């Protein structure tokens, strides 16, 4: 794969996170000799704004790279070594519906967790499969670097069809929060880490190779404001912030007038207005939240391109890491990444108290992937019944009807 020039395409380039990629690539010009970045999006207005901003931003960073724009996905993919996918099928308007429908039935309304994540998966997996077909045809040696949510389900749907790294910045949260709590370098922090995307736990934490003390673990637990500290201490593991939707269900039923999706729609009007006139990342972007993706994505590309062993948390087939799950089930786990691919690293077992929860959500995920790829509504219904945040047939039937009505444009 080694070449003097790299073309990268970004599908869903109208995302406000695209400038992160430009910034990180500018910092890594020696390691990753990127000569062309093709920005692709179906929303021409957002694409035009992002192309203009990224061109100005790259110039300001001294990043001499050709940045093109297109609404033609195939044109973007041709000749690419890496295909970065960060799409939101249906835009934020679809996200709002994903959040509102569960809330109307007394369920958690969150875009990747529970019924909201289910709806998003049904809408997104078929599009990602189409992208994978284009990559197979037009750039068969390319890697898909995926940040499209729900990334675990998408990775499971595409595994075996293309080379894919399913990523999430959440794998770095335990490292960064522990380092911040203890005033140390994040690179000195390692841990066992296992579970699913947005359903994971970091445990057996070490600092420069020595086990973390109880006092240090308590300090790290203080950095979490989404899960009760006493529960964290009892588990002995730092959970994904998304575990709040499972451990504190009653508190997480939205009571405000706006969903997060509705808030994001308002924020992005301001952000894109600023992008259209700015040459540096606007302050309004900080209000959007999220981010942190480019560090992981670019490090993965560096490891693959330069055949350099890199430790990274990736969504990858289980292969016996979690013995209570099928070997082909995609989990989120530390891996060694290089030109040969992605190899999961054996982990100590996560706390027994969460085995059942992980298994139940994985059961739901595998059924959802099957439903999204086959179009079988019976399988979709069983997926909702299997999900621990739903788990009620009498709820699942009308819930699925509402989701399918929106999905089918009725």
Across residues 110-119, what is the average pLDDT?
96
pLDDT digit string (tens) for 78-99? Answer: 999 999 999 999 999 999 999 9
Could you tell me the pLDDT band of residue 290, with boundaries at 50, 70 and 90? low
pLDDT digit string (tens) for 176-200? Answer: 999 999 999 999 999 999 999 999 9
* Domains detected in the chain: 6-169+261-302 (3.40.50.720)
Q: Please, what is the average pLDDT of the chain?
A: 94
Percent of the residues in the chain that have a pLDDT greater than 70, as a whole number: 97
Query: Helix, strand, or coil here: 154?
Result: helix
pLDDT, position 288? 77
Across residues 336-342, what is the average pLDDT?
97
pLDDT digit string (tens) for 294-311? Answer: 889 999 999 999 999 999
Percent of the residues in the chain that have a pLDDT greater than 90, as a whole number: 90
Catalytic site includes residue 242: yes
Across residues 258-278, what is the average pLDDT?
91
Residue 312 confidence (pLDDT) above 60: yes
pLDDT digit string (tens) for 204-238? Answer: 999 999 999 999 999 999 998 899 999 999 999 99
> What tokens appear for 386 in the block?
């299997």
pLDDT, position 168? 94
Across residues 65-86, what is the average pLDDT?
98
Across residues 275-304, what is the average pLDDT?
87
CB atoms within 10 A of CB 307: 11
Buried-state track 357-396, b at ≥16 Cβ within 10 A, e below 16: bbbbbbbbbbbbbbbbeeeeeebbbbbbbbbebbeeeebb
| Bigger pLDDT: 256 vs 97 | 97
pLDDT digit string (tens) for 31-49? Answer: 999 999 999 999 999 999 9
- The residue from 147, 190, 191, 242 that is catalytic is 242
Which segment of 162-171, 285-294, 323-332 scores lowest on mean pLDDT? 285-294
- For residues 315 and 293, give the distance between their C-alpha atoms in angstroms, rounded to a whole number: 14
Residue 55 confidence (pLDDT) above 60: yes
- For residues 123 and 97, give the distance between their C-alpha atoms in angstroms, rounded to a whole number: 12
- For residues 94 and 122, give the distance between their C-alpha atoms in angstroms, rounded to a whole number: 12
Could you tell me the pLDDT band of residue 409, with boundaries at 50, 70 and 90? confident
- For residues 112 and 247, give the distance between their C-alpha atoms in angstroms, rounded to a whole number: 16
Could you tell me the pLDDT band of residue 291, with boundaries at 50, 70 and 90? low
pLDDT, position 227? 95
- For residues 350 and 332, give the distance between their C-alpha atoms in angstroms, rounded to a whole number: 12
Across residues 52-73, what is the average pLDDT?
97
Residue 324 confidence (pLDDT) above 60: yes
pLDDT, position 335? 97
H helices of 65-161, where? 73-77, 91-103, 115-138, 151-158
Across residues 155-177, what is the average pLDDT?
96
Across residues 234-260, what is the average pLDDT?
85
């Amino acid at each position: 794969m080694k070449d003097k020039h790299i073309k990268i395409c970004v599908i869903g380039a109208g995302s406000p996170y695209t400038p992160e990629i430009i910034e990180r690539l500018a910092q890594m010009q020696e390691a990753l000799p990127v000569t062309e970045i093709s920005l692709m999006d179906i929303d021409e207005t957002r694409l035009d704004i992002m192309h203009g901003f990224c061109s100005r931003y790259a110039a300001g960073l001294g990043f001499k790279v050709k940045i093109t724009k297109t609404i033609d996905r195939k044109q973007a993919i041709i000749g690419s070594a890496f295909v970065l996918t960060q799409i939101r099928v249906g835009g934020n308007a679809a996200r709002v519906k994903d959040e509102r429908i569960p809330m109307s039935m007394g369920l958690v309304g969150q875009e990747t967790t529970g019924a909201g994540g289910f709806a998003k998966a049904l809408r997104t997996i078929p599009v990602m499969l189409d992208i994978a077909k284009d990559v197979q045809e037009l750039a068969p040696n390319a890697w898909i670097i995926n940040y499209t949510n729900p990334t675990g389900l998408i990775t499971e749907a595409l595994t075996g069809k293309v080379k894919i790294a399913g990523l999430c910045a959440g794998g770095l949260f335990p490292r960064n929060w522990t380092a911040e709590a203890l005033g140390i370098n994040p690179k000195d922090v390692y841990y066992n880490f296992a579970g699913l995307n947005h359903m994971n736990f970091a445990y057996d934490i070490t600092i420069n190779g020595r086990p973390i003390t109880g006092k240090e673990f308590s300090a790290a637990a203080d950095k979490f404001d989404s899960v009760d500290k006493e529960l964290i201490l009892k588990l002995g593991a730092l959970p994904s912030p998304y575990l709040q939707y499972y451990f504190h269900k009653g508190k997480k039923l939205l009571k405000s007038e706006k969903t997060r999706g509705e808030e994001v729609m308002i924020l992005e009007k301001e952000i894109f207005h600023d992008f259209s006139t700015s040459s540096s990342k606007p302050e309004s972007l900080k209000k959007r939240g999220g981010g942190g993706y480019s560090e992981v994505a670019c490090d993965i590309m560096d490891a693959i391109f330069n055949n350099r062993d890199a430790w990274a948390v990736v969504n990858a087939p289980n292969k016996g890491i979690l013995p209570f799950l099928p070997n082909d089930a995609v989990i989120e786990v530390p891996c060694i990444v290089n030109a040969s691919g992605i190899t999961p690293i054996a982990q100590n077992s996560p706390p027994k108290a969460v085995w059942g929860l992980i298994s139940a959500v994985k059961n739901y995920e595998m059924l959802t992937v099957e439903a999204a790829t086959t179009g079988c509504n019976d399988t979709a219904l069983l997926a909702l019944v299997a999900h621990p945040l739903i788990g009620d047939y009498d709820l699942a039937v009308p819930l699925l009807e509402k989701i399918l009505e929106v999905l089918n444009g009725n």
